């Protein structure tokens, strides 16, 4: 079963043998190398990768539970359910479309709220969640001392996988300036984005231009590559209907917004999550990697994280309604709970499908 993780461990073996340079998104590789005791043995490193991925899954669970505790309060009488909600969110998946029956593709063409097969995106996930949540709190009430934390989370995204950093850079500034004005105090909050631009420029060189980069030396036959744009062309290779794929990816959040539109349209968190998802889709639609990596659709990973954040926020809103009803389900919350359960069942089906077919598409 050739998952992204398998290829990444193969890359790490070549790094250990000094055949290629360490990719700049080196957090997953570095942690795996440490857990593998610095050996260049594929089997040992695969075992180490499993340990690292387990730790990353735990970190993702912890930061998700932290979001629920932060929103409702740790002393909430039903706070124990936050852990179960966080576990459930770790397994939700997009609903299948006709692409599954016609092409055998279950997840590849959809902005699924989870993507379990890539070590670097999984390494970046906890940092994306905490950056999203802390930046939302900043939008509510800016604090002068937060910008170093913002810089830290952005730097961690750079060294793990920068996909969500692009979403943050597109969405956070207009929300911050729109709510609090274009003042010196607010401009300080945007300083990390200036430093982010420099880090991304360096990463661009290390990935696409450096001679011993694996993306140049092996994946692109020794030729440099880069970034271009083509509206929806790569996405359409993996989806028979992009609009339907988006709907199948976030059916539960769409339904939540529709059912509680009158109250949610007034909530900053609702718009912030949806704006991030829209920005992620735009990046997926527009940008492509040139050269022989064109067909890998490298500019899609941010929409997995953005969809997860949308699910998390939607689950938070539905739970708030359940609390108001004294933890009783009415017809609206029953319908939304059923939709969420279908996404959860879809995740279980997908993991079984991946195991049986040896394909993660």
Tell me the pLDDT tens digit for each residue of 72-129: 876 566 767 899 999 999 999 999 999 888 888 899 999 999 999 899 999 999 999 9
CA 205 – CA 211 distance, rounded (Å): 10
What does the alpha-carbon distance between residue 115 and residue 14 come to, in Å, rounded to a whole number? 25
For 237, the token pair is: 């290779």
The total domain count for the chain is 1
Residue 205 has pLDDT above 60, yes or no: yes
* Band of residue 171 on the pLDDT scale cut at 50, 70, 90: very high
Give residue-wise pLDDT tens across range 297-355: 889 999 999 999 999 999 999 999 998 888 888 999 999 999 999 999 999 999 998 88
CA distance 57 to 343: 19
Residue 186 has pLDDT above 90, yes or no: no
What are the pLDDT digits (tens) for 3-20? 688 889 999 999 999 899
pLDDT at 223 over 90: no
Is 102 inside a domain boundary?
yes
Look at residue 44 and tell me if it is in a domain: no
C-alpha span between 260 and 94 (Å, rounded): 22
- Rounded Cα–Cα distance for residues 240 and 99 (Å): 6
pLDDT surpasses 60 at 286: yes
Average pLDDT over residues 151-170: 95
Residue 319 is assigned to a structural domain of this protein: yes
Does residue 283 have a pLDDT over 80? yes
What is the extent of the structural domain holding 237? 89-357
195 inside domain? yes
Per-residue model confidence as pLDDT tens digits over 234-267: 999 999 999 999 999 999 999 999 999 999 999 9
Residue 295 confidence (pLDDT): 85
Q: In the chain, what percentage of residues exceed pLDDT 70?
A: 98
Residues 262 and 245 sit within 8 Å (Cβ to Cβ)? no
How large is the average pLDDT for residues 21-41? 91
Q: Specify if 24 maps to a domain.
A: no
Q: Is residue 77 part of a domain?
A: no
Residue 60 belongs to some domain of the structure: no
Question: In this structure, is residue 49 part of a structural domain?
Answer: no
Task: Name 61's Cβ contacts closer than 8 Å, sequence gap at least 6.
Answer: 83, 86, 87, 90
Among 58, 32, 57, smallest CA distance to 44 is for: 32
First-to-final CA distance of the chain? 11
């Amino acid at each position: 079963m050739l998952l992204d993780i398998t290829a990444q461990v193969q890359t790490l073996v070549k790094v250990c043998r000094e055949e290629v340079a360490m990719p700049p998104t080196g957090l997953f590789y570095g942690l795996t190398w440490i857990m593998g005791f610095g050996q260049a043995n594929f089997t040992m490193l695969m075992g180490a990768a499993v340990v690292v991925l387990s730790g990353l899954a735990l970190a993702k669970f912890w930061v998700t539970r932290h979001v629920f505790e932060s929103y409702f309060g740790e002393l909430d009488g039903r706070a124990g359910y936050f852990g179960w909600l966080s576990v459930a969110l770790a397994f939700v998946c997009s609903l299948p479309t006709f692409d599954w029956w016609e092409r055998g593709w279950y997840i590849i063409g959809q902005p699924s709220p989870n993507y379990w097969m890539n070590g670097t995106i999984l390494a970046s996930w906890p940092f994306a969640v905490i950056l999203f949540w802390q930046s939302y709190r900043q939008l509510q009430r800016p604090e002068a001392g937060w910008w170093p934390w913002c810089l830290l989370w952005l730097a961690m995204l750079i060294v793990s996988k920068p996909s969500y950093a692009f979403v943050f850079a597109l969405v956070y500034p207009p929300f911050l300036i729109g709510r609090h004005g274009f003042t010196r105090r607010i401009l300080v909050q945007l300083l990390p984005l200036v430093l982010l631009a420099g880090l991304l420029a360096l990463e661009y060189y290390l990935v696409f231009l450096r001679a011993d980069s694996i993306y140049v030396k092996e994946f692109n036959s020794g030729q440099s590559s880069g970034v271009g744009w083509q509206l929806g062309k790569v996405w359409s290779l993996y989806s028979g209907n992009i609009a339907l794929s988006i709907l199948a990816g976030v059916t539960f959040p769409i339904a939540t917004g529709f059912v509680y539109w009158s109250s949610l349209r007034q909530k900053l968190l609702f718009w912030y999550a949806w704006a991030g998802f829209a920005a992620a889709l735009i990046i997926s639609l527009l940008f492509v990697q040139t050269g022989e990596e064109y067909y890998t659709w490298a500019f899609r990973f941010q929409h997995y994280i953005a969809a997860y954040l949308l699910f998390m926020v939607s689950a938070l809103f539905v739970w708030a309604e359940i609390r108001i009803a004294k933890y009783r389900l009415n017809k609206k919350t029953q319908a939304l709970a059923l939709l969420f359960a279908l996404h959860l069942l879809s995740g279980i089906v997908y993991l079984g499908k991946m195991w049986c077919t040896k394909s993660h598409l």
